[in-house]
Amino acid sequence: MKTLFQQQRQLPLLNVLHLPKLFFSDQSWLSSKRNPPINSSSSSFINVRPQPISTPAFIITNLLRDPTITSSSSLHSALDKTEVDPDPDMLQAIFQHFDSSPRLLHDLFLWAEKKPGFESSATLFDSMVNVLGKARNFEDAWSLVLDRIGDDGREGSNLVSVNTFVILIRRYARSGMAQAAIRTFEFVTSLDQICSSDEKTNLFEIMLDSLCKEGHVRVASEYFTRKKETDLCWVPSIKVYNILLNGWFRSRKLKHAERLWSDMKKNGVPPSVVTYGTLIEGYCTMRRVERAVELVDEMKEAGMDPNSKVYNPIIDSLGEEGRLKEALGMMERFLLCESGPDISTYNSLVKGHCKAKDLAGASKVLKMMISRGCIPTTTTYNYFFRYFSKFRKIEEAMNLYTKIIQSGHTPDRLTYQLLLKLLCEEERLDLAVQVSKEMTVRGYDRDLASSTMLVHLLCKMHRFEDAFGEFEDMIRRGIVPQYLTFERMNNELKKRGMTQMARKLCDMMGSVHSSKKLPNTYVGDEDSSRARRTSIMRKAEAMSDMLKTCNDPRELVKHRTLSGNAVSRAGQLIEIIKKRAKETSMNG
């Protein structure tokens, strides 16, 4: 029998119609080699590596991946030696490949800004703010923003826009800092040269949406109520109600959602198709799919035509519950509508069949969607990868990986994370390293999850030097490893008498961005751990209080380095803010 790769060499680019049959072939991707050497020149993967071309972007990319460049100054020096003239489009392309390396991108951006003739674009600037926000490095993000609007907030800038603050609001909400998100909203709405009246309305809705999507619906609802009470002329839009409805359902607060729905009807707020879609999705999330179906009939009686936003949650919920025949029946009902099923509909069916361990049924759905002109996406295939990862099916996963690449599809970050998870759990270090390399080649730098899995596997395989190298590279790229990862490595190194490496590990953690605010968080000295934890908690609480109470982000930037007297300085700042707020209310 010919091996799978012998067949591949004889095949042209595979037609997508043939994929379902090939996904579940009994021929093994791994049949030729069980454990090829990690450094082997012959890889089992499809060769996707392009021939290197010394373009400016390629040169900079290589520098960013150079593990010997560990400091900002050394990177700037190396960049200067390239004599590359940066431009916004080139940097934007690089950003897309290193979005999990905030420190490197920040250093690159600051270097480019100092180059003669370089003018950043608003898109690139917002990308930089987003990268910093994603890493929770809000101080540097605010420094960039405030440098461009001036200390008094009156100086204009074509780089800072409403979208910049939308990014900050969303990142604060995602980081669990609801009050900081609200303060940011209030700050930007005070800048008339940036935020018009229409934009203020839109920004209010975005803020509520961000809070609700990240589980802060109670905070959003309280802010909504205060606004209604203080601004009697304000009439909330249907969009605001839809956002809050969605928030209560996402937080699984059914009574609150139903109370809001009753208030809407009582106050004469006419529901839209989106309202019904939100209600239906919410009831499906709460596993009350029968009530969701009743609402479909109710909206039809109101003269509204259900669309994919209405049918997809029902089909998805039925699939999640294993009621696959009912899900297929609902899809047939959907086919009678003008809009008809879309990619999300079929993806829900694929997901349902995979969850029910029915790969044959999932394959049939795949054929069905293709025959109806709906081309599978990477998300579609990721449901198969989830199944393979859950049930430890390495061969099937690697066969699928090979086939989707040959058919012209591009795996995404989740694809690689699922593969790495599977390979690490099965202790297939050789394949995990190769998949990691493929991930990098395809433009996805390893994020916290991917790097953590590799470090843990390397430790488990007693490859401590390699684990240390990966750990070091995480810090070089601006990723702060989890405490458990550090603790495990530190303990293992000490247990094996590798004290020098353990000391270097602690020194590295002392140099990361977060440990400047929380010094010695990761140091492994047991004797002083209790006093250190007390000090850390006091300083963390001080920073948290500042974010919760400070109205002006410029004040945060002024106090962004918390030294030994952090608590007293934070307390002084809070008292100043309270005093100003009291004076303002008295004057009002």
> Is the pLDDT reported for residue 189 higher than 70?
yes
Q: Is residue 514 part of a domain?
A: no
Mean pLDDT of 371-389: 93
Q: What is the pLDDT of residue 205?
A: 96
Question: What is the CATH number for 189?
Answer: 1.25.40
Q: Is residue 62 part of a domain?
A: yes
129/229 same-domain check: yes
| Distance from C-alpha of 221 to C-alpha of 211, rounded to nearest angstrom | 10
| Distance from C-alpha of 21 to C-alpha of 360, rounded to nearest angstrom | 10
Q: What is the pLDDT of residue 567?
A: 45
Question: Over the stretch 556-576, which tens digit does the pLDDT of each residue have?
Answer: 545 444 444 444 544 555 555
139/223 same-domain check: yes
Q: Please identify, among 167, 201, 233, the residue that sits at the C-terminal boundary of a domain.
A: 233
> Is the pLDDT reported for residue 40 higher than 50?
no
Asked whether the beta carbons of 142 and 557 are under 8 A apart, the reply is: yes
Structure tokens at 515: 């440990």
HSE value, Cβ hemisphere, 13 Å, CA-based, for 435: 28
Mean pLDDT of 406-427: 92
Mean pLDDT of 30-57: 46
Packing angle between helix 238-250 and helix 254-266, nearest 10 degrees?
160
125/65 same-domain check: no
Mean pLDDT for all residues in the chain: 81
Cα 471 to the center of its chain, rounded Å: 21
131/214 same-domain check: yes
Q: Is residue 72 part of a domain?
A: yes
387's CB contacts (< 8 A; 6+ apart) are 354, 355, 357, 359, 393
Q: What is the pLDDT of residue 280?
A: 96
Mean pLDDT of 130-135: 95
Mean pLDDT of 166-189: 96
125/229 same-domain check: yes
Q: What is the pLDDT of residue 587?
A: 53
| Distance from C-alpha of 207 to C-alpha of 211, rounded to nearest angstrom | 6
Q: Is residue 393 part of a domain?
A: no
Q: Is residue 325 part of a domain?
A: no
137/187 same-domain check: yes
Tally of CB atoms within 10 A around 31: 12
> Is the pLDDT reported for residue 448 higher than 70?
yes
84/184 same-domain check: no
Domain range enclosing 574: 525-588
Asked whether the beta carbons of 140 and 109 are under 8 A apart, the reply is: no
Q: Is residue 435 part of a domain?
A: no
> Is the pLDDT reported for residue 3 higher than 80?
no
91/130 same-domain check: no
- Taking the alpha carbons at both ends of the chain, their separation in whole angstroms is 86
89/134 same-domain check: no
Q: Please tell me what DSSP assigns to residue 408.
A: T
Question: Over the stretch 323-356, which tens digit does the pLDDT of each residue have?
Answer: 999 999 998 888 887 778 899 999 999 999 999 9
> Is the pLDDT reported for residue 16 higher than 70?
no
Give the chain's count of helices (H) and strands (E): 32, 0
Question: How many structural domains does the chain have?
Answer: 3
142/200 same-domain check: yes
| Distance from C-alpha of 561 to C-alpha of 568, rounded to nearest angstrom | 13
Q: Please identify, among 182, 217, 233, the residue that sits at the C-terminal boundary of a domain.
A: 233
Lowest mean pLDDT among 21-30, 88-97, 275-284: 21-30
Q: What is the pLDDT of residue 505?
A: 92
125/228 same-domain check: yes
Q: Which residue has the higher pLDDT, 307 or 380?
A: 380
Tally of CB atoms within 10 A around 38: 14
High-pLDDT (> 90) share of the chain, %: 57
153/215 same-domain check: yes
Q: Which residue from 452, 384, 463 is spatially nearest to 421, judged by alpha carbons? A: 452
| Distance from C-alpha of 136 to C-alpha of 224, rounded to nearest angstrom | 26
> Is the pLDDT reported for residue 253 higher than 80?
yes
Q: Which residue has the higher pLDDT, 513 or 434?
A: 434
| Distance from C-alpha of 283 to C-alpha of 418, rounded to nearest angstrom | 30
Q: Please identify, among 176, 202, 233, the residue that sits at the C-terminal boundary of a domain.
A: 233
Residues listed for the chain = 588
Q: Is residue 190 part of a domain?
A: yes
Q: Is residue 202 part of a domain?
A: yes
| Distance from C-alpha of 207 to C-alpha of 200, rounded to nearest angstrom | 10
Task: Determine the longest span between alpha carbons in the chain, in angstroms.
Answer: 88
